[in-house]
Structure 1
Amino acid sequence: MSVSNHENRKSRSSSGSMNIQLFHKTSHADSLLTQLNLLRKRRVFTDVVLHAGHRAFPCHRAVLASCSRYFEAMFSGGLKESRDAEVNFHDSLHPEVLELLLDYAYSARLIINEENAESLLEAGDMLQFHDIRDAAAEFLEKNLHPSNCLGMMLLSDAHQCQRLYELSWRMCLANFANLYHTEDFLSLPKDKVQELVFSEELEVEDECIVYEAVIDWVRADIGRRHLDLPDLLRCVRLALLPETYLWHLHLFICYKTGLCLKKNSC
């Protein structure tokens, strides 16, 4: 149709009033994603290849940049990476997890379960798929239990999932008496042990449990952790311990850490 014919038809159809209609196909977004996904699987118009482990994933930069601030920054930053036809994550990202992220990018759908939730949270945070990170965190919140709360506390702290962290933290404090002898507790970093035992909200029947937790944690790697003992003991209310515990502490320092005072004070 020529421009002049279009103008003539506009004039003939005009009644002098505004008569408009909005056409909106609600399924267009889904159809578009479906077609893009088909193009990806056929490797049509793909302009970047992601590598993880020994697998390769041809993709469209525009789709990745639309879903992830990480890829948006990578492809638009003007650096060497923005021009590279390949991005290699090596072993920092499991190929099955990357595949899940890409399936979500091209379908807006993702199945989260107990086996992949933690990996999806970590990968979602790493590649700034924030929707996936938050969805995985919400899944883990619903499956939080005393048996996994210590691990969830560390995971959520590392990946800035505030609500999951707060729920995990409160569960750790409430169940401390049953947690301090577990492998998860004994493998905690020093700062988390300090925060837990020093908290006013720690739920324990008496201070002996706090003392035992500190000693057990130090004993788990005494070669390196004996130097942490003074800092941790400052978090224990020693005045509330029975005299037998204080004597035990004295012997522990003397014979286990080699910090005994000279002149045979032991």
Structure 2
Amino acid sequence: MSVSNHENRKSRSSSGSMNIQLFHKTSHADSLLTHLNLLRKRRIFTDVVLRAGNRAFHCHRAVLASCSRYFEAMFSGGMRESQDQEVNFHDSLHPEVLELLLDYAYSARVIINEENAESLLEAGDMLQFHDIRDASAEFLEKNLHPSNCLGMMLLSDAHQCQRLYELSWRMCLANFASLYRTEDFLHLPKDKLQELIFSEELEVEDESLVYEAVIDWVKSDVERKLGDLPELLRCVRLALLPESYLLKNVASEDRICSFL
């Protein structure tokens, strides 16, 4: 049928008004992803290889760019990788975690559990799979506990998960009396320890506990942390300590004198 004949037929059938119908197949998106995933597994039309560790993943640039601003910028900008047929993450990304991200890109599904949630959050943030980062943060929020809140505080702070950070921060303040005796506490960065002990919301029955926490933190690596002691002690409310405690533990104790 010629274009002119088609136009004539359309005008005759319309009688001055156009009858239209919207066809929308709701399963089309799932069907499309399923077929793209099959093409990926068969390495049909794939145009880039992602490498992590000793594994290689054949993918479609268009799919990756549609799911990740990281890949969109990489493939569309002036970066060297925009022309390369291979992107190698070396050991900066675990291959099993990358596989989970790719499975999500091609299926809109991923299983998050206690073993992979932190890694997925980190990788999701790194590759800008923001939905994965946020879903992993939500999972960790639901599994937040005094035993892991220090680690969650640092993780969420590094990857800009504001709600997880606020929840873990409050839990750290509320459980400081037990947390300062843990290995996680001894590995806190100085700035985070300083923020904790300086907070007006720190829940401790006795300021001597804060003093002991600072001393224990320094003693865990005296050579590296000794220079931080004076600044940390300024955050301890020494005026709240009994005079007897000050004389015994602060003014005359050998360990504190040697540090200062």
Q: Structure 1 residue 58 and structure 2 residue 58: aligned? A: yes
By how many angstroms is 1:110 displaced?
Answer: 0.8
Query: What is the distance in 1 between the residues matched to 2:243 and 2:168?
Result: 34
Query: What is the distance in 2 between the residues matched to 1:7 and 1:111?
Result: 52
Query: C-alpha offsets along residues 167-197 of structure 1, whole Å, 9 cap, x if unaligned?
Result: 0000000011111110011110100110000
Q: Structure 1 residue 254 and structure 2 residue 257: aligned? A: yes
Q: Structure 1 residue 229 and structure 2 residue 229: aligned? A: yes
By how many angstroms is 1:11 displaced?
Answer: 2.6
By how many angstroms is 1:14 displaced?
Answer: 1.7
> Which residue pairs with 2:155 in the alignment?
155
- Percent identical among aligned pairs is 86
> Which residue pairs with 1:7 in the alignment?
7
> Which residue pairs with 1:197 in the alignment?
197
Query: C-alpha offsets along residues 61-120 of structure 1, whole Å, 9 cap, x if unaligned?
Result: 000000000000000112211100000000000000000000000011111011000000
By how many angstroms is 1:153 displaced?
Answer: 0.1
Higher mean displacement: 39-48 or 234-243: 234-243
> Which residue pairs with 2:173 in the alignment?
173
Aligned length in residues: 257
Q: Which runs of 5+ in 1 are unaligned?
A: 260-266
> Which residue pairs with 1:136 in the alignment?
136
By how many angstroms is 1:4 displaced?
Answer: 2.6
By how many angstroms is 1:245 displaced?
Answer: 3.1
Query: What is the distance in 1 between the residues matched to 2:256 and 2:206?
Result: 22
Question: Which amino acid in structure 1 is aligned with residue 121 of structure 2?
Answer: L
> Which residue pairs with 1:126 in the alignment?
126
Q: Which runs of 5+ in 2 are unaligned?
A: none
SS in 1 for 2:50: strand
Query: C-alpha offsets along residues 175-234 of structure 1, whole Å, 9 cap, x if unaligned?
Result: 111111100111101001100001000000010111111111111111111111100100
Query: What is the distance in 1 between the residues matched to 2:171 and 2:213?
Result: 17
Query: What is the distance in 2 between the residues matched to 1:155 and 1:105?
Result: 24
Query: What is the distance in 1 between the residues matched to 2:240 and 2:11?
Result: 94
SS in 2 for 1:8: helix
Question: Which amino acid in structure 1 is aligned with residue 174 of structure 2?
Answer: A
Higher mean displacement: 13-22 or 133-142: 13-22
Query: What is the distance in 1 between the residues matched to 2:35 and 2:153?
Result: 41
Query: C-alpha offsets along residues 119-165 of structure 1, whole Å, 9 cap, x if unaligned?
Result: 00000000000000000000000000011000000000000000000
> Which residue pairs with 1:262 in the alignment?
none
Instruction: Write out aligned runs for 1:17-96 (5 A).
Output: 17-96=17-96
Quote the RMSD (CA, aligned, Å): 1.1
Query: What is the distance in 1 between the residues matched to 2:10 and 2:257?
Result: 98
By how many angstroms is 1:244 displaced?
Answer: 4.0
Query: What is the distance in 1 between the residues matched to 2:4 and 2:77?
Result: 45
Question: Which amino acid in structure 2 is aligned with residue 164 of structure 1?
Answer: L
Query: What is the distance in 1 between the residues matched to 2:244 and 2:232?
Result: 19
SS in 2 for 1:56: strand
Query: What is the distance in 2 between the residues matched to 1:10 and 1:48?
Result: 45
> Which residue pairs with 1:264 in the alignment?
none
Query: What is the distance in 2 between the residues matched to 1:5 and 1:38?
Result: 41
Query: What is the distance in 2 between the residues matched to 1:219 and 1:181?
Result: 12
Higher mean displacement: 165-174 or 235-244: 235-244
By how many angstroms is 1:13 displaced?
Answer: 1.5
Question: Which amino acid in structure 2 is aligned with residue 65 of structure 1?
Answer: A
Normalising by structure 1, what TM-score? 0.94
Runs of 4+ deviating beyond 4 Å:
none
By how many angstroms is 1:8 displaced?
Answer: 2.8
By how many angstroms is 1:12 displaced?
Answer: 2.8
